[in-house]
Structures are given as structure tokens and as C-alpha cells.
Structure 1
Amino acid sequence: MSALISLDRLSLLISTHPATFAAIALSILFLLRKLFDAHTRKSFEKLYGCEKAPDESDRFKYDILGISKAIEFASHLKDQTILSYTDSLFQRYGETYTSNILSQPFVLTCNAKNIKHLLSTGFKDFDISALRKHLFDPITPHGIFTVDGPDWKTNREGLRGRLSNLRQLIDFEFLEEQFQMYLKHVPPHGEKFDVQACNFALFTDLQTFFSLGESSNSLSSTQTVAQRQFVDDLSTIKDCIVRDGFRGPLHHFSSKKEFFRACERAKDYVIERTTQQVRKRRNAVMKIGTEDSFEGTESEEIAVSTDQALSILIANDTMGTTLSAIFFCLSHNGHVTEKLRASIIETIGMEPPTWTQLGSLVYVRWVICEGKSTALRTSL
């Protein structure tokens, strides 16, 4: 009887005060979610012996919904001070800390071991496609950035196979041509220039040649209108992905018309060239009479190759950023530059290198690793 009365009162509340009922229901759901998240986190900490990461409660003690944090974050985005802001928080809370933006829990880290575990050795343990899907779905709907679990593992194996044999991938003659074009953009008398723009252009040319069979010619005066449009579209896509990734839930309030148009044009450009490559490869397999390594139709192979190519090109800035970080380190450490030059001349001399010689450049590897660690906070 009491249950029927309660149901009647609930029905009356819904019909007479729908807004009040909605507010109460949302509040209950919010509290239940917070309790569930807290229980899940406690269980995880107990299972693996983890310590609770520092949080921002000292600055946002009563900001339960994360509204003040969102306003502060948006302010730095608007003022283009997000990198210095992020770095100051790492200095304050350590290499790993938690935050709350619009009731969404975030874990932020610049710790190399954590990032390696997240992106490589332990990636399969994380279900984070929901956080990335809205960023990458328009450009790589089935790529490695938008899937988890078995699909992610399949994607990774495909990319690993595509990237594994460097001797087949790298054309020394083409690399020399690209380097000579790069040098044309360097002022001859030590004037200042935008080295990062040149680095990004260099790696875009290298990666398009590797992924699509033709360079985008960003460093060349022979770049076509279609190639220039593709490079511009890639830049628009990456800028939007980074911007909306930083904004988190705030990305819903920004226009994405130009982003979607850029995605469509870029996909059409890649599909056209991937189709040519796939058909060329399949025809070669038929002529030789060997077993095809790809188990699927031509259209399926084109779709997979397109996703792989776009995934590689979208992540291209990581290499450009690393090279820029290396140049930054070298410009502030003249003795390292001299030692690097001497080690290369001692190992290779003034002639074109061989694969064996490249593999023995130990000091070069050390410099690259130092550049990677320097670039870490800005690239992620």
C-alpha cells in the first residue's frame, strides 16, 4: 500500500513539477556515479598497491562540478598560455595528478614510464576510445586512435608490419633530395627562421612519400594545388584534434564545419592514392602467382590502408616536434653539437652512409633520446 502511495506521489511530482523531478534525478545520478567511480578507484588502488595521485583540491576545494576549473582552463586556452599553465601544474603537483573538469575526472601525466605504459606496453588495459573517438572518428573511423581491445591490437599489428622493415621503406636517394630542399630554406648567414615549420614540412614530405607513394612536396617549389590543399587540410585536422582534446567537454561549444570539410577532402586525397597502390600491389601478386598476404577484398584492403596512412600522417608532428627539441638542445649546448658532428664524421666520414654505419651511431641515439624527453611535455 505504501509503495502505491509513493508511486502516486512520484507520478504527481513528475506531472506537476517536471523540472524539479529532472533536477533531483540528475543529482541522484551524479552522486551515484561519483560513488561508483570512488569505489572503482579504491578497488584498483587496493588491487595494485597504488597510491592516490595528487589532485587540485587545494585550489578548488568546493568546486564539485569542476566549473571553476573549466573556466580557468578555457581562459588559458583563449590566451594561448596553456603550455606554461600545464607545466606550472606539473611543477606544483608532480609528474602525475588528477583533475576535475565539468564533473569529468582526468588523470594528467608527463611521467615517461606512465606514458610508455599507456601508449605501448599496457595500452590494451585501457578503454579510452570514448575519450578519443570524437576527435579521430571523422578522419580515421576504424583507425588505431578510435578503437580498443582486439580491434586496437589488430590495428597495431598492421601498423607494426607496415613500419617494421626500414630497409625496404627508406630510400637514401630520396632522403638526400629532401635534405637538400630543406637546406634551401635555411638562411645562409645565420639569420633567424622558423625551424619547426621546416621540420614539420620535411616530415610531412617523408611520410606522404612513405604512406602514399608520393611526396606532398611541402619543401619544393613544384608543389601542386592538390598537394598544398592536402597539407593545409592535415594542418587544420591536427589543430582541431589538439584544440578539442585540450578543451575536453568544452569541445561541444566550438564549430567543426571546417574540420569536417578538411577531413572529407583529406580522405578523398588519400583514398585516391591508396587505391592506386593497392591495385598495383595486387596486380604484382597475381603476375608472380604467390599467395596474397592480405586476406580480404580489394575494397577492404583500401579501407585498411587508408586508415593506416591517415593515422601515420596525423601522428606526424611527433617527429617534427622531436627534431625541433633536438635543435633547441643543440643550440643551447655547443659542446654537444661539436661532439655530435665529430662522432658522425668519425663513423661515416663525408660519404653517403650505409645501414651498418647508421646502426653504430651511438651518440646520435643519445642525442635523439634527450630530444624526445625534452619534447615530451609539449607533444603530449
Structure 2
Amino acid sequence: MESGIGAPRFSKPATALLVTVVGAISFFLVRILRQVLRRRDLERLHGCEKLPNEDDRFRYDFFGIAKTIELAFHFQRRTSLEYTNALFTRYGETYVSHLIGYRLIFTHNRENIQHLLSAAFADFDSSPLRRPLFQSITPHGIFTLDGADWKKSRGQLYSRLSDLRRVIDLEGCERHFQSFLRHVPPDNQAFDVQSCVFALSLDIQTQLSLGESINALDPCQSAEKKQFQSDLLHVKERIVQDGFRGPLRHLRSDWTFIRSCRRAREYVTTQATREVQQRRHQEKAGVHAVRGAINAQAEEISQFTDQALSILLANDSIGTTLSGLFYCLSQDERVVHKLRASIIDTIGLTPPTWNQLGSLGYVRCVLHEVMRLFPAVVLNARVANKDSIMPSGGGLNGHAPVLVEAGDIVVFSTWARHRLGNDFGEHPQAFYPERWEQLCGDMPGFIPFNKGPRACPGRTVFSSLDDCPD
């Protein structure tokens, strides 16, 4: 007779389950241990040191909740840029923080930014961060892609923007500018210049990308175009807000955003259908289309729509630059007089030609200084798809290499690089266009369009003004 006391007995299925669980746990523990040892060897090989850690302010905030609340507070008060610059001043050009389970590395170091955008481009992806933001409006656009699909889409955009004289209609731009001037009140009365310049940029960009302007500056704008303008503005604002909020974006309702995305895509799809059909008709007739910059080789309408919307979503670079320009000029009468005199000396009082645009030296200086102080994209980020070594940021002096682990998010600040860096001479916070008489738009620390393979295709628009000084 067997005793009821002793070691417990397990059925065969229970024993098999136990062995499986123990084996799985052991496998993952060994895998983690090997990863830790491999990373330790990698750090030793490259002489890596630890980054300054912002967590010293949140010692018991193990999940990064306090940091998240602090970020949300500054975002609501519109002090995010001053806040991040203050942290760079405190911790150095590169530091690490944690945000709701994510490890974030913040940097405005020139070498680190070059590493992200060029030297180690293949080690970092942007679509994991951008895809959730842009998926609803451009599911197959350049902002949601990586790898071969991204290269294909980018190549098509570059080919369409490469010949500026075919793409940009100077006479059309002049007509839109005259519409803008009609919104400027007489007798030096105050008005909302920012909303007007954003409408101007939208009129020019829709003419470029859709073949037809939405006439945002026209008081008789149609209801359909007005609705598209409203939807596009809402989509862009929501994308920017969600980009700053990070994981907190999931706490907001998506219904109005999805509705605006759907209506905007429907409008652009209608325009795309018309443009594609017109292009095919012209090709059959042996006529090369000159207008409508998105009329490349026989593309599907859905692809046309994604690419057109990608251009329109990025059109804030024009509005931001013009807004910054008017703000800076309003603060410096000396530059206004010098700028006006240089334009009259070069062009006179008639509309400019393409050749004359390349001779506007002081205009180049002013525009580059505005883009330095007011870049269209102030913060950008990449996700490491593998372990990578950033060249700077570690150790007491901040000059030692640092290990970026796979899955880390690296946030780089164009705003801080342009205002806190030592690339631009004395007083980098000041508006001083003359500094560009000795500087070049291709200099490493100047990144309003980013650098490397993912540099903004719109960079070609400024190439005619970007002749470097001797």
C-alpha cells in the first residue's frame, strides 16, 4: 500500500508543460545573458562610456511616468523647445532619459547627428515612429516607408523635383504672391501674416503637386477646396501634436482625425485621376506635359495620391521660412534696407528670371539665417534597428563613444544644434545674415533639410541660391 505522503506526482502532460516552460525561460535567460556580454564586449572594443542620465531627477520613477507628465506640461504651455534646450545646457550635448518604458537618447551633437543621418544610416529606421502618425493619410507615402520601398518612392520624388524650371511656374508664383499682397492692410495696420504666408505656400504647393491651386488666398474659394484646406490643416496639426505626445497620443480620440484623412484623400484622389488621365492622353498625342509636377511615368492613382499628399504634408517648410523671415525683418530695419537694395541692384523692379535668382547673394544669406533660427522641423528621431556606436556623448567630458542599443530611440534637435552649437560663430541666438557670407549651406552643423539619404527632396528648391562663398 502506497503512502499518501511524499513527493507529489505529475501527470505526463503536466510534466511536459513544466519542462517546456522551464526550457523557454532558460532559453530567454541565456539569450539575454549573451546579449549583455556581447554589448559589454562591444563597449570595451570601442571605448564606450556611459551617457549623462536625466533619471537623477526622477530616481524612483522607474517607468518614466513623471518624465512623461513633465513633457506633456511643457507641450501644453508651448515651452517644449526652451525646456529641451535647458536640459541640453544642464546635461551636455547628449544625454539619456526614459519615457514609459522607452529608452530615449537626446542629442544635438554634430558628429552624432552625422552618424544617424549618414555614416550609420542603415542602423536606424524612421518608419516605426512615423508610420503610426502618417498611416491614415499616406499609407504608402515616403513618411511611412523604409528599405527598398522607401528608395523607390524617394527616387520618384527626386526625379519630379530635379528640374525646377519645369516644375515651378514663376508666373504662377507671382500671381499667388499678388493675391497675398491683397491681404496686407494699408497704413501699417497689424494683420496675421503667418496665416497668410501659410495660405500662400499652400496655393503654390497645390499647384505644384495637384496641377491646380486650391486658391486659399481667394475670398471666393469654393466650398470643396475650403473643406480640403481645413482637413489638411487639421491632419497636419494632429500629426505634429501626436509626434510630441508620443505614447500619450493613444489617449485621444481618432475619429475626427480619421474623417479628415478620408476626406483629404478623396479630394486628392479626384485630382490625381484627372492628372493621370490627362498625362496619358498627352503621351498618346506625343505631347510632353510641362505643368503639374506630379505627372511622372504611368503611375497608379493611389501612388500619385500618396506622393502628392506627402508633398502637401511637408509644405510647412515654406510657410515656416516665410513666417520666420517676416518676423526677423520686423525686428531689424537695417537688414530690410540692405535686402531691398541688393534685390533692386540685381533684378530691378521687374519679375526675376531663373538666372537672376542664382545671383541674389544677400537673399541667400537672409534665407539661410532664417532657416537656421526657425527650422521647419525642430526635432527628429530614429529607432536603432541594431546595436550601434555613436561617436560622442559619453564620459565626464562628453567626448567618449556611446553604445546605442537596438530599440533605443535617438532624438536629435535641429533647434538646439542651430542655437547652441558652435558652428555659426559668435552669438548664435542672434539674427545676423552676414555670418553666411563666410558659411556654406552644406556645412555639417546646418540641418534644416536633414542630411544623408533622407535629406528633404525640397532641398533642390534652394540649390539655385546655395552657391557657397569662395
Measured against the shorter chain, the TM-score band is 0.7 to 0.9
Residue 53 of structure 1 deviates from its aligned partner by 4.7
- Tell me which residue corresponds to 2:238: 240
| Secondary structure of the structure 2 residue equivalent to 1:288 | coil
Flag the structure with more relative contact order, 1 or 2, with Cα contacts below 8 A and sequence separation at least 6: 2
- Tell me which residue corresponds to 2:70: 72
Moved more, 332-341 or 266-275: 332-341
TM-score by length of 2: 0.68
Residue 222 of structure 1 deviates from its aligned partner by 2.1
Residue 95 of structure 1 deviates from its aligned partner by 4.4
- How far apart in 2 are the matches of 1:74 and 1:35? 37
For the Cα contact (< 8 Å) 1:212–1:309, is it kept in 2?
yes
- Tell me which residue corresponds to 1:316: 315
More helix by share: 1
- How far apart in 1 are the matches of 2:121 and 2:37? 23
Note the alpha carbon deviations across 1:258-301, whole angstroms, 9 max, x for none: 000000000000010011111111111122199x973xxx6x52
The residue type paired with residue 201 of structure 1 is A
Moved more, 230-239 or 54-63: 54-63
For the Cα contact (< 8 Å) 1:127–1:148, is it kept in 2?
yes
The residue type paired with residue 126 of structure 1 is F
For the Cα contact (< 8 Å) 1:137–1:146, is it kept in 2?
yes
- Describe the shift of the 1:252–1:38 C-alpha distance in structure 2 as closer, same or farther (beyond 3 A): farther
| Secondary structure of the structure 2 residue equivalent to 1:145 | helix
- How far apart in 2 are the matches of 1:255 and 1:113? 40
The residue type paired with residue 346 of structure 1 is D
- Tell me which residue corresponds to 2:86: 88
Q: Give the one of 34, 57, 60 matched to 1:59.
A: 57
- How far apart in 2 are the matches of 1:210 and 1:313? 9
The residue type paired with residue 301 of structure 2 is I
Aligned pairs for 1:106-255 within 5 A: 106-110=104-108, 118=116, 123-255=121-253
- Describe the shift of the 1:288–1:338 C-alpha distance in structure 2 as closer, same or farther (beyond 3 A): same
The residue type paired with residue 374 of structure 2 is A
- How far apart in 1 are the matches of 2:275 and 2:43? 47
Residue 36 of structure 1 deviates from its aligned partner by 5.5
Residue 196 of structure 1 deviates from its aligned partner by 1.4
More strand by share: 2
- Describe the shift of the 1:277–1:289 C-alpha distance in structure 2 as closer, same or farther (beyond 3 A): closer
Residue 82 of structure 1 deviates from its aligned partner by 2.9
For the Cα contact (< 8 Å) 1:321–1:379, is it kept in 2?
no
Note the alpha carbon deviations across 1:304-349, whole angstroms, 9 max, x for none: 2111110010011122112212222222222222111111111001
The residue type paired with residue 143 of structure 2 is F
The residue type paired with residue 57 of structure 2 is R
TM-score by length of 1: 0.83
- Tell me which residue corresponds to 2:357: 358
- Describe the shift of the 1:119–1:234 C-alpha distance in structure 2 as closer, same or farther (beyond 3 A): farther
- Tell me which residue corresponds to 2:304: 305
Moved more, 68-77 or 243-252: 68-77
Identity of aligned residues (%): 49
- Tell me which residue corresponds to 1:327: 326
- Describe the shift of the 1:82–1:142 C-alpha distance in structure 2 as closer, same or farther (beyond 3 A): same
- How far apart in 2 are the matches of 1:360 and 1:334? 23
Residue 116 of structure 1 deviates from its aligned partner by 6.8
Note the alpha carbon deviations across 1:80-119, whole angstroms, 9 max, x for none: 4334333333343344433211011223345677667656
- How far apart in 2 are the matches of 1:192 and 1:119? 41
- How far apart in 1 are the matches of 2:37 and 2:166? 50
- How far apart in 2 are the matches of 1:265 and 1:93? 45
The residue type paired with residue 335 of structure 2 is V
The residue type paired with residue 252 of structure 2 is S
Residue 43 of structure 1 deviates from its aligned partner by 3.7
- Describe the shift of the 1:289–1:233 C-alpha distance in structure 2 as closer, same or farther (beyond 3 A): closer
Residue 77 of structure 1 deviates from its aligned partner by 2.9
- How far apart in 2 are the matches of 1:319 and 1:140? 21
- Tell me which residue corresponds to 1:342: 341
Moved more, 172-181 or 110-119: 110-119
- Describe the shift of the 1:336–1:225 C-alpha distance in structure 2 as closer, same or farther (beyond 3 A): same
Note the alpha carbon deviations across 1:185-238, whole angstroms, 9 max, x for none: 222222222221111111011100110011111111121101111011011101
For the Cα contact (< 8 Å) 1:83–1:378, is it kept in 2?
no
- Describe the shift of the 1:334–1:160 C-alpha distance in structure 2 as closer, same or farther (beyond 3 A): same
- Describe the shift of the 1:351–1:146 C-alpha distance in structure 2 as closer, same or farther (beyond 3 A): same
- How far apart in 1 are the matches of 2:377 and 2:33? 31
Which structure 1 residue ranges, 5 or more long, are not aligned? 13-24
For the Cα contact (< 8 Å) 1:124–1:148, is it kept in 2?
no
- How far apart in 2 are the matches of 1:38 and 1:199? 55
Aligned pairs for 1:94-109 within 5 A: 94-109=92-107
Moved more, 328-337 or 214-223: 328-337
- Describe the shift of the 1:168–1:64 C-alpha distance in structure 2 as closer, same or farther (beyond 3 A): same
Root-mean-square deviation (Å): 3.4
